[in-house]
Amino acid sequence: MATDLSSASTEVTAKAKPAGANDTKASRREVKVPKGTRDFDPLQMAIREKVFGIVTGVFKRHGGVALDTPVFELKETLMGKYGEDSKLIYDLADQGGELSSLRYDLTVPFARYLATKKLTSMRRYHIAKVYRRDNPARGRYREFYQCDFDIAGQYESMVPDFEILKVLAEILDKLNIGDYEVKLNHRRLLDGMLELCGVPAEKFRTICSAIDKLDKLAWEDVRKEMVLDKGLTEDVADKIGSLVKMRGKPMELLDELMKEDSPFCGNAASQQALAELKQLFTFMDVGKCINRFVFDLSLARGLDYYTGVIFEAVFTGTVKMGSIAAGGRYDDLVGMFSGVQVPSVGMSLGIERVFAIMEGQAGQLTVRKTQTQVLVLGIGKSLWNVAIGIASELWELEIATEFRCVAPGKIKKQLSDASEKDGIPWVVLVGQDELNQGIVKLRDMAAKQEEEVRRDNLAADLQSRICACAALKGLTI
């Protein structure tokens, strides 16, 4: 289904009535955001900024450089890369002979960028919105952010794969959202399994899409899809079922699969995949992150562009939530655009589900809606110039400051709001009597203490106090 944004806008303009026109029907119409989208209030935005800061910090620590690409791509760029999920791509109306679509993810645009610029190596991170014509559910939207980190270029086998997994584990640990596990598999091992079970090569991708549903559906439902919808015999489906149920600690399951009596023993693709996984697990063990991972043969990742290691992180806490991160190796994707193979591996954090988890924990988080450090309160409506003057001095020192003037009878309400609603640590109280004496009153909101400070020394005094507080316990968002 094409989404014609420009014509929709024209239609709204044409039907608009002059201000003040009487339209009873329109006045009763519910005002809401489109299905699968949402607004974000200041507390939610504070949580988002905190999360983005943590994620970006990890990306930069691993050498990532920022990149941005257009929110829409040529339709031909996106098609044929997502398997059965291609039906979820948002198409735009023809604009001057170019068929375009909203980006479905950040990986294909990155591969297109490498091909366009003729680059053969890059460590990039990209935090931006993507769009999918999906059925909205908890933590699942049609417009949402993804946070991607990718390593493209020639490296020693499994070295970048390890670092991508390490980046993912670092982020999920630092976000402190609760227990999680990362399921891991190898696309060539999966292909080898399908070959051993008797699946025709031309059905590999569509059967992978069915297997990928095992995190949402029971095996009986997936088996039915394989047999009735995708044409496998019951015997072949049952062989697949006996293998996809295998999961366990990485090294332990790997040892089982590499034994001489393993069904994978005589399959070349499987043997290569197992050798790569052995090297990867060794790196992960040395890198102290292997305990977060589960080797799971049911993990398929339905996207067509994966060629090697694939993984998916799931939250295992009390909140029921689907995948919170995923990724894998995609060595052929850049070559689809340029003809030049650029080996690549990457991860994508499904940040909306992380937000949903954190918003559910908002009462347990120390999160401030505002960054304000100082509130300047002029006591009396005639003190605007004084309040503005003090605020300007603090802004010059890069101290986050708000100012206002209030009647004497409203000071208590302002102090209560500053402390309980906004978490502002310092309040400057200035009245005409204090000004006549060359002083102001400075209140420490946490300690609930108030003292007099010389007006001409206020800015320097506050800067010193804020720096000392930051050195002791760090600034809280």
As annotated, the binding site for L-histidine includes: 105-107, 132, 146, 150, 301, 305-306
- Backbone φ, ψ for residue 133 (5° rounding): -80, 65
Largest CA distance in the chain: 94
CA distances from 407 to 168, 361, 383, 431, 440 (A): 52, 38, 11, 10, 17
Give the Cα separation of 245 and 241 in Å (integer): 6
Give yes or no for a contact between 319 and 300, defined as CB atoms under 8 angstroms apart.
no
Report how far residue 333's alpha carbon sits from residue 10's, in angstroms, rounded to the nearest whole number.
38
> Which residues are annotated as part of the binding site?
105-107, 132, 146, 150, 301, 305-306
